[in-house]
Amino acid sequence: MASTVVDVVMPQMGVSVSEGTITRWLKQEGEAVAFDEPLLEISTDKVDTEVPSPGAGVLQRILVQEGETVEVGTRLAVIAAAGAEPSPAPASAPPQAPPEPAAAPERAEPEPAEPGPAPAVPGAGDGRSFVSPVVARIASEHGVDVARVPGTGHGGRVTKKDILAYIESGGAGAPPAPAAAEPAAPPPPGPEAGPAPTAAPAPPPPPAAAPGPRVPPPPAEAAPPPPAPPPPEPPAPAPGEIVEPMTAMRRGIAEHMRRSLDTSAHVTTVFEVDMTKVVAIREKLKPQYQAAYGVNPTYLAFVARATIEAIRNWPWMNAEVRGESIVVKQYVNLGIAVALEGGKGLIVPVIKNAEGYNLLGLARAIADVAERARAKKLVPDDVQGGTFTITNPGGWGAIIGTPIISQPQVAILDVEALVKRPVVIADEAGNDVIAIRPMMNLCLSYDHRLVDGAYAAQFMKELRENLESWDEATY
């Protein structure tokens, strides 16, 4: 009996990802599963995700249990055609071998004239993670999550036709990107239709179910499944609600923020800093820097420079909890949180080896990454490898914040607004007087798993001293 079985394998979630951990099985042995239905959740060092079922049938055997970490390509489970007995084989027996070619000759090459035969797709799902350039572009233009599109290409890859059919069938559940939105104006008078909108959706492709050899049927021999099972529909929007799909960036932020809170023991401490000296020095340097270098020495640059200097004596601020180990970085890769226009996201470009910059270099580097972040000119390398992050909501007037740490770092510094406040200081004679001083709050969120309150406070105290007694010769 040659019942078709489909292997579920650990997918490749990114070029540099070599292993993944099973976080949860969404189906148990013996349960029926549909093609493309979420089957399990996995976690890698880059991303956590659901893995859709590469075939339809019954989850016959789970080979890798929750919590286990295995290499990409490892078999995780076996799905058998519907009706198969759950786990009939003895536990020690190897999983079912490929069916014996009883009558059919080895299908080395597809028979050209014979329509319909499905080339056996070993380990379907291998190809799913590869997104071709045109599919990536269409997905981006239409805000489609490629992982939700049923793939008919090699190894289950999503082809251009698949994604066009998915969008055509309304699967995207979203209007096309703004650029593609064509006002519903009447066509201009005249014999010729107006110019085609540049980003208009391509002509409707043939339905996914069109007969043809290019569409290998799902590898199980279950009853013919629906050709393109739509993903589970979210509840329809209520009146007055506008629904839009999350962008990949928004999903990434959501996942990362949640995971960070689940990972680190967040504590926030706030220090007040008297910026009188920094303000004076900045007033002096600003025209010089702008005339000579075209660079604005921002308060952020001063704070960043003083922070890097303080890290020198408090290295656990620039460290990572890796398993049971503490990894201290001997360099400072400084992440600078940059908000994108219109609240459409946040990105944290990294200034590599920031400890090597003086104030001028740091100001220039911050301006450079911020500019490239807003112009979407960053390359993946620009956002990786951060060891400490600074965020700067003070520009909008914020005075206190409790930022969330960017994993796997252990601290993030929140630079707040510079505000003139009445403060009590000592005059020359040692008497208390009330003075008007430019004050700034610095809020540090740190991971209490590694950094204790006293350590964090001492780091902040040094940071404050660096700023209040700014030494031009050093910085």
Partner 1 sequence: MPELTYLQAISDALRGEMRRDQRVFVIGEDVGVYGGAFKVTLGFQEEFGPWRVIDAPLAETAIVGGCTGAALMGMRPVAEMQFSDFVSCAWDQLVTVAAKQHYRAGTPVPIVVRLPSGGGFSGGPFHSQNPESSFAHVPGLKCVCPATPADAKGLLISAIEDPNPVLFFEHKHLYRRIKGDVPEERYTVPIGKARVHREGDDVSVVTWGAMVYTASEAAVALERDGVSVEIIDLRSVVPWDRQTVLESVRKTSKVLVLHEDTHTGGFGAEIAATVAEEAFEDLDAPVRRLAAPDCPVPFSPPLEKAFIPQVEDVERVLRELAEY
Q: Which of 57, 135, 74, 133 is nearest to 150 (CA)?
A: 135
- Is position 214 an interface residue for partner 1 (rule: CB under 8 A)? yes
Q: Under the criterion CB under 8 A, does residue 118 sit at the interface with partner 1?
A: no
CB of 208 to partner 1, least distance (A): 13
Burial letters 253-267, b for 16+ CB under 10 A, else e: beebeeebeeebebe
Q: Give the active site residue among 368, 381, 448, 471.
A: 448
Q: How far apart are CA 286 and CA 282, in angstroms?
A: 6
Tokens at residue 435, please?
């003075």
Closest to 326 measured CA to CA, from 189, 450, 155, 156:
450
Q: Which of the ranges 172-180, 205-213, 260-268, 302-310 carries the binding residues for partner 1, by CB under 8 A?
A: 205-213
Contact pick of 20, 54, 153, 225 for partner 1 (by CB under 8 A) = 153
- Closest listed residue to residue 463, CA positions, set 423, 405, 414: 414
- CA neighbours within 13 Å on the CB side: how many for 163? 25
Chain residues 379-418 in contact with partner 1, contact rule CB under 8 A? none
**CA angle (194 as vertex; 191, 198 as ends), nearest 5:** 150
Task: Decide if residue 154 touches partner 1 (CB under 8 A).
Answer: yes
Nearer to partner 1, 118 or 270 (CB): 118
The structure tokens 């740490």 sit at 405
| Residue of the chain from 11, 150, 151, 216 that contacts partner 1 (CB under 8 A) | 216
196's tokens: 């085609």
The residues near 170 (Cβ < 8 Å, ≥ 6 apart) are none
Shortest Å distance, C-beta 210 to partner 1: 7
The answer to the question of residue 99 lying near partner 1 (CB under 8 A) is no
Does the protein bind partner 1 through residue 200 (CB under 8 A)? no
256 is catalytic: no
Told to check if 119 binds partner 1 by CB under 8 A, we report yes
Q: Check whether the bond before 349 is cis (ω within 30° of 0).
A: no
Which range in 204-212, 235-243, 296-304, 399-407 contacts partner 1 by CB under 8 A? Answer: 204-212
135 binds partner 1 (CB under 8 A): yes
Of residues 108 and 242, the one with the C-beta less far from partner 1: 108
Q: For residue 27, what are the CA distances in angstroms to 10, 54, 55?
A: 16, 13, 13
Of 168, 169, 150, 166, the residue nearest 158 (C-alpha):
150
Is 195 a binding residue for partner 1 by CB under 8 A? The answer is: no
- Contact by Cβ (8 Å): 333, 457: no
How far, CA to CA in Å, does 118 sit from each of 111, 114, 222? 10, 10, 14
Q: For partner 1, which stretch binds (CB under 8 A), given 111-119, 173-181, 257-265, 458-466? A: 111-119
Q: Is 268 in the site for partner 1 (CB under 8 A)?
A: no
Choose the binding region for partner 1 from 52-60, 107-115, 240-248, 342-350 (rule: CB under 8 A): 107-115
Q: Measure the CA–CA gap between 303 and 464, rounded to whole angstroms.
A: 9
Q: What angle do CA 127, 128, 134 make, to 5 degrees?
A: 95
Nearer to partner 1 by C-beta: 137 or 251?
A: 137
Q: Least distance from C-beta 373 to partner 1, angstroms?
A: 22
Nearer to partner 1, 135 or 279 (CB): 135
The nearest distance, CB 137 to partner 1, in angstroms, is 4
Q: Tokens 């020198």 identify what position? A: 312
**CB of 5: closest distance to partner 1 in angstroms?**
22
**Residue closer to partner 1, measured from CB, 154 or 374:** 154
- State in angstroms the smallest separation of the CB of 114 from partner 1: 9
Task: Identify which range of 134-142, 258-266, 310-318, 440-448 contacts partner 1 by CB under 8 A.
Answer: 134-142
**Residue numbers at the binding site for partner 1 (CB under 8 A):** 109-110, 112-113, 115, 119, 132-137, 153-154, 157, 159-160, 210-214, 216
